Chain A
């Protein structure tokens, strides 16, 4: 479960003044559901998700992720979260196996348990053929599979995806989308950000529209349709953003 309360992030910039990247966001995401954060580039999606993954510290407000406070217990939060984005690259000089085992060890797995978990994930994702090849020699699709194995190695109850399909080809993007659905069916709490309407529409149980750091609207697609009297998600998005003060 993810529960954000008045989450705020201000970046101090000596030249340009303070930048309020995330402004008092509150929402809740339940296990077995996908929460989609929909917003244009620069709307604050990445910052919001980095706050939840404790990569950044909030200026104000807080959130509880898998029962732990992001301010008080950031390390516990990270141990219960799988974080994947296009910015989370792999170590090129490590092999697929070394990569997954490295993150497994950092998550407290070792010995037989780690080996079993790695084998299980490699079989599930079809990594075995290139398990002992260095990551910098692999295709984008192969790398995506390793990234997925890396986020899943400690079987976290919460998954955070920041524009995970950005820049990927159709096949690689399909792998990711399938994987996100799979996380939901396994009862994980999933939060996912995108600016691609069709992706959000296909995947998400709940949608939050974010613009200039503020969460303007939130609810299921049906609720959003009812509120805006628009059928198409793109129209719903445009109407919501244009109505913002």
Chain B
């Protein structure tokens, strides 16, 4: 391998890539915009719909109101609840989302609540199971009942000459003993590696295909093959560019992620400090995850290049790469499954191993033997993928596939 040649090829590919709109969009623009747009967009929509819900309130119906005149009055005075006149077709109205809930009081409800009995009276709250706005109405109604229930209990205790303490013979208190970084790591531990694995893959996709199948499509492959650069120099120069794109995408998107969430994160941290809640993110953990990602980025770049080399057109290459993306995403998501932890066998499965070990590292666990196993096997796969790309570049049947 001639390093000067590799450098010349890398430099040319870099200039070429920086002028390719598709590569710039997928490597830099999209990762920068993704998080702010997602959060802002989602946040705005959610906020608007919440405001609308608050403004309109929940429309409910009271059935048998005369059985509970005092309680009905309280309900009518509660903010966010709008009572409409009772009617027979409340089931239809709820199903058609014209009514959010209907409350049915049994006969003599209020009188019976003043007496103790084995069979306390029961209020029915008709609702649309799983429908958000119906559930909001149910919650609001339940809150009114809860207050009423507490008031009745207090009255009964007072009549019997007892205090509220009689209801609470002992207390419990939960106390966190894990370090703040570990708590923070546990919260983001599954999502963070998944995000980086996905972004590393996405970052190398466009350039890997453009530098291989794209060259075939544009007819420049023969031009470059006729130059004195060896095929090894060519494939290494190209690979380094794809690898760079992959890392740049991951770094850019994480920077965007950090900036987008830094405000809520800082707020959360302040909140955590004030309430003495443990929450922090370990910087060394994040750095370790990046280190574990390197062999994965190498593997993605090399595999995608091999696919691009084999394909006759960029379209063909993209159709092979799409199912591969699913293969990458599924093990990457595994880290988010609770209770799915790293062991010696899983440490040998590509992508899944890095995803799981990242979760461990972020929660402050460093199982060194397993980490070593993951690192070694990942580099093994990366080397295998790279040699696959090199051999594809040296095979005429691949380069000149008809």
**A47 to B400 alpha-carbon distance, docked (Å):** 11
The answer to whether B315 has its CB under 8 Å from any CB of chain A is no
- Which of A36-44, A101-109, A118-126, A236-244 lies at the interface? A101-109
**Beyond A105-B8, A106-B229, is A56–B219 a contact (Cβ under 8 Å)?**
no
**Nearest A-chain residue to B218, judged by Cβ:** A89
The answer on a CB contact under 8 Å between A75 and B228 is yes
**A154 to B8 alpha-carbon distance, docked (Å):** 16
Chain B interface mostly? helix
**Beyond A75-B228, A106-B8, is A94–B219 a contact (Cβ under 8 Å)?**
no
User: Shortest beta-carbon distance, B48 to chain A, in Å?
Assistant: 43
Chain B neighbourhood of A57, CB < 8 A: 396
The answer to whether B186 has its CB under 8 Å from any CB of chain A is no
User: Shortest beta-carbon distance, A75 to chain B, in Å?
Assistant: 5
The answer to whether A216 has its CB under 8 Å from any CB of chain B is no
Q: Which residue, of B223, B229, B397, has the highest number of chain A Cβ atoms within 10 A?
A: B223
**Nearest B-chain residue to A50, judged by Cβ:** B222
**A122 to B317 alpha-carbon distance, docked (Å):** 38
**Nearest B-chain residue to A87, judged by Cβ:** B222
Question: Which B residues from 6 to 22 make CB contacts under 8 A with A?
Answer: 8-9, 12, 15-16, 19-20
Question: Which A residues from 156 to 192 make CB contacts under 8 A with B?
Answer: none
The answer on a CB contact under 8 Å between B228 and A90 is no
- Which of A22-30, A78-86, A203-211, A221-229 lies at the interface? A78-86
**Beyond A12-B397, A53-B226, A57-B396, is A98–B15 a contact (Cβ under 8 Å)?**
yes
Number of A-B contacts (CB under 8 A): 63
The answer to whether B227 has its CB under 8 Å from any CB of chain A is yes
**Cβ contact of A56, chosen from B5, B12, B16, B396, cutoff 8 A:** B396
**Nearest B-chain residue to A102, judged by Cβ:** B12
Chain B neighbourhood of A105, CB < 8 A: 8
**A57 to B222 alpha-carbon distance, docked (Å):** 14
Question: What string of 1s and 0s marks CB contacts (under 8 Å) between B1-43 and chain A?
Answer: 0000100110010011001100000000000000000000000
Question: Which B residues from 203 to 230 make CB contacts under 8 A with A?
Answer: 218-220, 222-223, 225-230
**A75 to B1 alpha-carbon distance, docked (Å):** 12
The answer on a CB contact under 8 Å between B19 and A78 is no
The answer on a CB contact under 8 Å between B219 and A92 is no
The answer on a CB contact under 8 Å between A88 and B226 is yes
Chain A neighbourhood of B230, CB < 8 A: 75
The answer on a CB contact under 8 Å between A92 and B8 is no
The answer on a CB contact under 8 Å between B20 and A93 is yes
**A94 to B225 alpha-carbon distance, docked (Å):** 18
Chain A neighbourhood of B19, CB < 8 A: 93, 134
User: Shortest beta-carbon distance, A99 to chain B, in Å?
Assistant: 9
User: Shortest beta-carbon distance, B227 to chain A, in Å?
Assistant: 5
User: Shortest beta-carbon distance, B231 to chain A, in Å?
Assistant: 9
**Nearest B-chain residue to A84, judged by Cβ:** B226
Chain B neighbourhood of A90, CB < 8 A: 220, 223
**Nearest B-chain residue to A80, judged by Cβ:** B228
Chain B neighbourhood of A83, CB < 8 A: 226
The answer to whether A55 has its CB under 8 Å from any CB of chain B is yes
**Beyond A91-B16, A93-B20, is A85–B222 a contact (Cβ under 8 Å)?**
yes
The answer to whether A45 has its CB under 8 Å from any CB of chain B is no
**Beyond A90-B223, A93-B19, is A106–B228 a contact (Cβ under 8 Å)?**
yes
**Beyond A79-B228, A93-B16, A93-B20, is A88–B223 a contact (Cβ under 8 Å)?**
yes
Chain A neighbourhood of B12, CB < 8 A: 91, 94, 98, 102
The answer to whether A145 has its CB under 8 Å from any CB of chain B is no
**A147 to B222 alpha-carbon distance, docked (Å):** 13
Question: What string of 1s and 0s marks CB contacts (under 8 Å) between A60-97 and chain B?
Answer: 00000000000000011011010101011111111000
**Cβ contact of A78, chosen from B8, B219, B228, B397, cutoff 8 A:** B228
**Cβ contact of A89, chosen from B9, B16, B220, B228, cutoff 8 A:** B220
The answer on a CB contact under 8 Å between A107 and B227 is yes
Question: What string of 1s and 0s marks CB contacts (under 8 Å) between B148-166 and chain A?
Answer: 0000000000000000000
The answer to whether A117 has its CB under 8 Å from any CB of chain B is no
User: Shortest beta-carbon distance, A108 to chain B, in Å?
Assistant: 8
The answer to whether A150 has its CB under 8 Å from any CB of chain B is yes
Chain A neighbourhood of B16, CB < 8 A: 91, 93-94
**A55 to B19 alpha-carbon distance, docked (Å):** 28
**Nearest B-chain residue to A83, judged by Cβ:** B226
The answer on a CB contact under 8 Å between A78 and B220 is no
**Beyond A12-B397, A57-B396, A105-B8, is A89–B223 a contact (Cβ under 8 Å)?**
yes
Question: Which A residues from 1 to 57 make CB contacts under 8 A with B?
Answer: 11-12, 50, 53, 55-57
Q: Which residue, of A56, A76, A89, A150, has the highest number of chain B Cβ atoms within 10 A?
A: A89
Q: Which residue, of B226, B397, B400, has the highest number of chain A Cβ atoms within 10 A?
A: B226
Given contacts A56-B400, A83-B226, 17 further A-B contacts (CB under 8 A): A53-B226, A55-B222, A75-B230, A76-B228, A78-B226, A88-B220, A89-B218, A89-B220, A91-B218, A94-B12, A94-B15, A94-B16, A98-B12, A102-B12, A103-B227, A106-B5, A107-B227
| 21 pairs from A and B in contact (CB 8 Å cutoff) | A50-B222, A55-B226, A75-B230, A78-B226, A78-B227, A78-B228, A79-B228, A83-B226, A87-B222, A88-B226, A89-B220, A89-B222, A91-B12, A91-B218, A91-B220, A93-B20, A94-B15, A94-B16, A103-B227, A108-B228, A134-B19
